[in-house]
Amino acid sequence: MTIVGLGLMGGSLAMRLKRDGAARRVVGLVRRAETAFAAERLGAVDRAATDPAHALPDADIVIFATPVRVLMAQLQAYAPLFKPGAIVTELGSTKRAITDALSRLPPHVYPIGSHPMCGKETSGLAAAEATLYEGATWVVSPLPRTPDGVIAVVEALARAAGARPLTLAPARHDRLVAAISHVPYLLSAALVLAAESVAEEDETVWRVAASGFRDTSRLAASNVAMMMDILLTNPDAVAEMLGRLRRQLDALGEAIAGGDETRLQTLLQRAADRRRRLYPPAIDD
Amino acid sequence: MTIVGLGLMGGSLAMRLKRDGAARRVVGLVRRAETAFAAERLGAVDRAATDPAHALPDADIVIFATPVRVLMAQLQAYAPLFKPGAIVTELGSTKRAITDALSRLPPHVYPIGSHPMCGKETSGLAAAEATLYEGATWVVSPLPRTPDGVIAVVEALARAAGARPLTLAPARHDRLVAAISHVPYLLSAALVLAAESVAEEDETVWRVAASGFRDTSRLAASNVAMMMDILLTNPDAVAEMLGRLRRQLDALGEAIAGGDETRLQTLLQRAADRRRRLYPPAIDD
Tell me the per-residue pLDDT of B50-68, one tens digit each, with 9 for 90 and over: 999 999 999 999 999 999 9
Q: How confident is the model at residue B123 (pLDDT cuts 50, 70, 90)?
A: confident
User: Which 3 state secondary structure label does DSSP give A175?
Assistant: helix
Q: Give contacts of A272 with chain B, Cβ < 8 Å.
A: 189, 220-224
Task: Provide the pLDDT for residue B285.
Answer: 42
Q: Work out the minimum CA distance from A83 to partner chain B, whole angstroms.
A: 33
What residue ranges of chain B are covered by domains with CATH 3.40.50.720?
Answer: 2-167
Reported as a single tens digit per residue, the pLDDT across B25-45 is 999 999 999 999 999 999 999
Task: Provide the pLDDT for residue A283.
Answer: 53
Task: Provide the pLDDT for residue A122.
Answer: 82
Q: Give contacts of A231 with chain B, Cβ < 8 Å.
A: 256, 264
Q: Is the pLDDT of residue A87 over 70?
A: yes
Reported as a single tens digit per residue, the pLDDT across A241-275 is 999 999 999 999 999 999 999 999 999 999 999 99
Reported as a single tens digit per residue, the pLDDT across B180-195 is 999 999 999 999 999 9
- Topology of domain A173-278, per CATH? 6-phosphogluconate dehydrogenase C-terminal fold (1.10.3660)
Of A184, A202, A248, the CB nearest to B193: A248
Q: Which of A278, A283, A285 to mutate to test the interface with B (most CBs of B within 10 A)?
A: A278
Q: How confident is the model at residue A285 (pLDDT cuts 50, 70, 90)?
A: very low
Least confident of A111-125, B79-93, B137-151, B167-181: A111-125
Strands A137-142 and A110-116: antiparallel
CA-based nearest residue in chain A for residue B248? A190
Task: Provide the pLDDT for residue B119.
Answer: 79
Q: Work out the minimum CA distance from A224 to partner chain B, whole angstroms.
A: 6
Task: Provide the pLDDT for residue A123.
Answer: 86
CA-based nearest residue in chain B for residue A202? B176
Contact A4, A63 (CB under 8 A): yes
Interface residue A168 vs chain B (CB under 8 A): yes
Q: How confident is the model at residue B282 (pLDDT cuts 50, 70, 90)?
A: low
Complex prediction ipTM: 0.93
Which B residues 183-242 touch A at CB under 8 Å?
A: 183-198, 202, 204-224, 227-228, 231-232, 235, 238-239, 241-242
CA-based nearest residue in chain B for residue A185? B212
DSSP calls for chain B:
-EEE--SHHHHHHHHHHHHTT-SS--EEE-S-HHHHHHHHHHTS-SEEES-GGGTSTT-SEEEE-S-HHHHHHHHHHHGGGSPTT-EEEE--S--HHHHHHHHTS-TTSEEEEEEES---S--SGGG--TTTTTT-EEEEEE-TT--HHHHHHHHHHHHHTT-EEEE--HHHHHHHHIIIIIHHHHHHHHHHHHHHHHHTT-GGGGGG--HHHHHHTGGGGS-HHHHHHHHHT-HHHHHHHHHHHHHHHHHHHHHHHTT-HHHHHHHHHHHHHHHHHHSPPPTT-
Q: How confident is the model at residue B169 (pLDDT cuts 50, 70, 90)?
A: very high
Strands A2-4 and A61-64: parallel
B240-249 burial, b for 16+ CB within 10 Å, e for fewer?
A: ebbebbbebb
Task: Provide the pLDDT for residue B281.
Answer: 77
Cβ-Cβ pairs closer than 8 A, A with B, add up to: 309
* B220/A215 Cβ within 8 A: no
Task: Provide the pLDDT for residue A281.
Answer: 77
Whole-number percent of chain B with pLDDT over 70: 99
What average pLDDT does range A141-157 have in this prediction?
98
Task: Provide the pLDDT for residue A284.
Answer: 45
Neighbours of A258 (CB within 10 A): 11
What average pLDDT does range B251-262 have in this prediction?
98
Q: Give contacts of A163 with chain B, Cβ < 8 Å.
A: none
Q: How confident is the model at residue A282 (pLDDT cuts 50, 70, 90)?
A: low
**Integer CA distances (angstroms), B107 to A282, B84, B285, in order:** 47, 9, 55
- One-letter amino acid of A103: S
What average pLDDT does range A31-51 have in this prediction?
97
* A252/B189 Cβ within 8 A: yes
Q: Is the pLDDT of residue B244 over 90?
A: yes
Is the CATH number 3.40.50.2300 carried by domain B2-167? no
Q: Give contacts of A210 with chain B, Cβ < 8 Å.
A: 117-119, 136-137, 180-181
Residues 6+ apart with CB under 8 A from B170: B95, B96, B98, B99, B113, B141
Phi/psi at A22 (nearest 5 deg)? -80, -15
What residue ranges of chain A are covered by domains with CATH 1.10.3660.10?
Answer: 173-278
Whole-number percent of chain B with pLDDT over 90: 96
Task: Provide the pLDDT for residue B71.
Answer: 96
Whole-number percent of chain A with pLDDT over 70: 99
Q: Give contacts of B168 with chain A, Cβ < 8 Å.
A: 204, 208
Q: How confident is the model at residue A69 (pLDDT cuts 50, 70, 90)?
A: very high
Query: In CATH, which of 2.160.10.10, 1.20.140.10, 3.40.50.720, 3.40.50.1820 is domain A2-168?
Result: 3.40.50.720
Radius of gyration of chain B measured on its C-alpha atoms: 21
What residue ranges of chain A are covered by domains with CATH 3.40.50.720?
Answer: 2-168
**Integer CA distances (angstroms), B6 to B44, B124, B227, in order:** 9, 7, 17
Of B187, B204, B259, the CB nearest to A176: B204
Strands B87-90 and A87-90: unpaired
Mean pLDDT (chain B, rounded): 96
Of B195, B206, B285, the CB nearest to A122: B285
Q: Which of A131, A167, A214, A256 to mutate to test the interface with B (most CBs of B within 10 A)?
A: A256
